[in-house]
Amino acid sequence: MNVMEIFETMEYGPAPEAAAPGLAWIKEHSPFSLFINNQWIKPASGQYIESINPATGKLLAKVAAANSADVDAAVAAARAAFETWSKTPGHVRARYLYAIARHIQKHSRLLAVLESLDNGKPIRETRDIDIPLVARHFYYHAGWAQLMESELPGYQPVGVVGQIIPWNFPLLMLAWKIAPALAMGNTVVLKPARYTSLTALKFAEIVQEIGLPPGVVNIVTGEASQVGEALVSHPDVNKIAFTGSTDVGRSIRRATAGSGKKLSLELGGKSPFIVFDDADLDSVVEGVVDAIWFNQGQVCCAGSRLLVQEDVAERLIEKLRVRMEHLRIGDPLDKAVDIGAIVSPGQLKEIQRLVNQGVEEGAVMWQPSWACPTEGYFFPPTLFTNVSPATTIAQVEIFGPVLVSMTFRTPAEAVDLANNTRYGLAASVWSENINLALDVAPKLKAGSVWINCTNLFDASSGFGGYRESGFGREGGKEGLYEYVRPKWETPDSSSKEFHIADDSASSNGSKSSLSMDEDTEDALQEEAFVSSNGHAPAFPVIDRTPKMFIGGKQARPDSGYSRDVYDLRGHVIGQVGEGNRKDIRNAVEAAHKASGWAFGTTHNRAQILYYIAENLSVREDEFAHRIVQQTGRSYEDATAEVQVSISRLFSYAAWADKFEGVVHRPPLRGAVLAMPEAIGVMGIACPDEYPLLGFISLVAPTISMGNTVIVIPSQQSPLSATDCYQVLETSDLPGGVVNIVTGDHDTLNQVLADHDDVDSMWYFGTAEGSKRVELASAGNMKRTWVNYGHPRDLMDSVQGEGEEFLREATQVKNIWIPYGE
Ligand code: NDP
């Protein structure tokens, strides 16, 4: 080919990166051992798994196949190391993390080559994206280790953390997991994906190199059924951090339910890429390339659904086809290659299966005219048009280089289409009109929203999902809270296994099991015979029947039944409705209808909370008597509970316009707005202790953040909560924001926890109730906050209110806004 021809075709030759240093390193170490307590240990099974180069299909290395005995050894090493590491000053931990970051940079090229060989991703990506982000993550978290004491006072490390990562960003996912864990003083046992362990093992060498104390980081390679499951069920692991498929995330949620293990899940996605008709279409095309052909589309937040405004759809699709024709696929070590290999034959087959299904379902498939290499596992970039939103390829995560496109007419239609998925990881919005983009961004149910950009990541900006994309954040300050717990919590309260069948402690008895002293008996006698004006009544008291409260209206129970409420002596003091599945359904519906509450001003929410406090204080005496009547506590004690409840309402009125986001400044020309948003519709099960304060302490933070709630009051003492609806009615609270359903706790909680239209559930009750809620939540992966039967002193302002509650009532959305011409 002569120069003239080159100018004509604009073709360029290969620019291969040398594989030799990577292959030499592998040869030196293979078969690889396990990294436990800073030592290389042969697997107990004596077995090894094969690591294949996806670009050739040939054997690359043999890696230890650990079993549960190895996991036990690694957890024991991590537990022993935790004793000292958790007490190591933040500055010292910061130095170690800083050293790791430096050594990642020193070995950056080797790491990039190893990652490409092992995973099949182009060297351009591993060299320019994965490895620099890994180093950045350790630098950033070195900073948090340094600042932990001053910036997270009142928090302590969780303990031993089990971390399970996928194959699509092997070293980057390791960094996202290990850096915050170590920064916050935890120790780690990490399981890499079976296809891609090599960079994690090189990382282990770095750990040795920098002299990190033994046992702080342990790397255990092997199969999911041997290593992953053993880690998840290990009784001495205090937290599981997982990234991978939604199905496995769901099984981990079920396996850890009731165990008290903290859990964060980064799961799948089907992210929308929304193009408005005023977008710069040439930039859009490059955006699409980055959204769906980056890492062969094997990206949890890949922009796999292209949603285009109808009037520019044809033009954009045409431009895309031209661009796709020029994409280069092939040897991942060639620096001129855009698309590398698919990680495994199994994954390749799955992509092909879904593409075939798309064709069968009537969508139109388009692929470039060129052919893929025949050696190794390659799949061409693929575009589907004529896709209907309900089809499999529009709903299921394909995890390959396959884009499905659909059209919309109006911004409202775009939002509906974008949110028409069970996932909620990320979204891209393309428009030259910043007003439109910033109007749409908050309406998208996704953890990250990129405006006129896509697939941007930085340690400073949290990443994580809404809905079935999981919960918890990685990166940013919010990511740190996944690795700490309040100091007042005792260590054994976080990792106890509860067995439903064996546990006899239950809230099923209608009559209270609390004991009563003589003073209390007297107090109750008095309550029974003295009316609120202090005189003996001349007539029988007029019957007051508390109803339920749904959609801003008092509602009779669907069942037509009532249940008796008893005082401590076993005397009936009233009745409440016997709520059932239908009442919960109506309440959930009403809560959804009231979702506009989240979009009102924070000033307005604060005003209403103050107003509720004001109206409660007018009836302070009556509420105190009600508490005495239900609990037998002294009047002074009950008055104190009412007063703390009023103060708590003030606290959350104060927080309503102060729990704000931050503006991150990642290394790009632009800013990232990290906004805490309401989670949506929340279920709340109140504790039996403190009938009024239990209700207020859980309802006030959730509604102050814009959620709408369905509350199940204390089963034993529900009357303080039902008395409250009159206070709510007179405080301008819009109907449906707070819904109260009374009845059997276990039955109602189960319905709420199972409900697919409930986004989050708080449960304060028994150990087995907590376990049931966590188990049921796996259905739609709703977020949960439960107390595992451990008491929390709500009268104490450290345990009973504050930012911990607000964080549990919100999820952070990161909106990326690049600027400049
Ligand atoms: P998995 O979710 O199966 O694997 C992710 C990690 O979890 C791996 O380390 C895996 O181990 C481990 N694991 C698997 N099952 C269990 C278990 N029961 N208990 C504990 N650990 C377990 O993803 P796959 O690799 O099988 O990919 C399947 C699909 O998942 C993809 O097609 C894609 O749709 C999705 N996926 C999503 C990712 C994301 O980032 N959101 C990442 C990867 C996949 P091992 O490797 O040994 O099997």
Span from the CA of 685 to the centroid of ligand 1 (angstroms): 33
> DSSP string spanning 315-359?
HHHHHHHHHHHT--BS-TTBTT-SB---S-HHHHHHHHHHHHHHH
**Bridge partner list, 629:** none
What span, in angstroms and rounded, lies between the C-alpha atoms of 659 and 651?
11
Kindly give the parts of the chain with pLDDT less than 70: 1, 491-538, 540-541
Query: Which CA distances in Å does 804 have to 371, 487, 680, 801?
Result: 55, 12, 18, 7
Per DSSP, the three-state class of 739 is: strand
Token pair listed for 788: 């595992």
Residue nearest atom 48 in ligand 1 by C-alpha distance? 224
Span from the CA of 392 to the centroid of ligand 1 (angstroms): 20
Span from the CA of 165 to the centroid of ligand 1 (angstroms): 8
Amino acid at 719: L
What span, in angstroms and rounded, lies between the C-alpha atoms of 547 and 722?
7
Please tell me what DSSP assigns to residue 770.
Answer: H
Residue nearest atom 46 in ligand 1 by C-alpha distance? 193
Placement of tokens 């974008």 in the chain: 418
Report the atom number in ligand 1 closest to the C-alpha of 469.
41
Angle (CA) 326 330 335, round 5°: 80
Span from the CA of 207 to the centroid of ligand 1 (angstroms): 25
Token pair listed for 218: 């342990």
Contacts of 442 (CB under 8 A, 6+ apart): 675, 677, 813, 815
Span from the CA of 306 to the centroid of ligand 1 (angstroms): 25
Question: pTM to 2 decimals?
Answer: 0.90
Using omega within 30 degrees of 0 as the cis cutoff, is the peptide bond preceding 31 cis? yes
Contacts of 609 (CB under 8 A, 6+ apart): 649, 650, 652, 653, 656, 700, 703, 704
pLDDT at 735: 98
pLDDT at 239: 98
Token pair listed for 566: 């008893």
Probe ligand 1: pick from 247, 248, 395, max atoms within 8 Å of CB?
Answer: 248
Taking CB atoms and a 6 Å cutoff, what residues make up the pocket around ligand 1? 164-168, 191, 193-194, 223-224, 228-229, 232, 243-245, 248, 251-252, 267-268, 300, 347, 350, 397, 399
pLDDT, one tens digit per residue, over 81-100 is 999 999 999 999 999 999 99
Angle (CA) 675 678 681, round 5°: 160
Span from the CA of 244 to the centroid of ligand 1 (angstroms): 4
pLDDT at 13: 82
Strands 58-64 and 155-157: unpaired
What span, in angstroms and rounded, lies between the C-alpha atoms of 788 and 35?
34
Token pair listed for 785: 């906050």
Q: Among residues 300, 301, 372, 686, which one is catalytic? A: 300
Question: Of the candidates 691, 596, 709, which has an alpha carbon nearest to the alpha carbon of residue 652?
Answer: 709
Element (H, E) at 242: strand 239-243
pLDDT at 501: 34
pLDDT, one tens digit per residue, over 235-286 is 999 999 999 999 999 999 999 999 999 999 999 999 999 999 999 999 999 9
Probe ligand 1: pick from 176, 225, 245, 469, max atoms within 8 Å of CB?
Answer: 245
pLDDT at 52: 98
Residue nearest atom 14 in ligand 1 by C-alpha distance? 224
Token pair listed for 338: 């855009």
Question: Is residue 660 flagged as an active site residue?
Answer: no
Helix axes 108-119 and 170-183, enclosed angle (nearest 10): 130
709 with 787: CB under 8 angstroms?
no
Question: Is residue 300 flagged as an active site residue?
Answer: yes
> DSSP string spanning 83-120?
HHHTTS-HHHHHHHHHHHHHHHHHTHHHHHHHHHHHH-
Q: Among residues 115, 266, 468, 801, which one is catalytic? A: 266
pLDDT at 180: 98
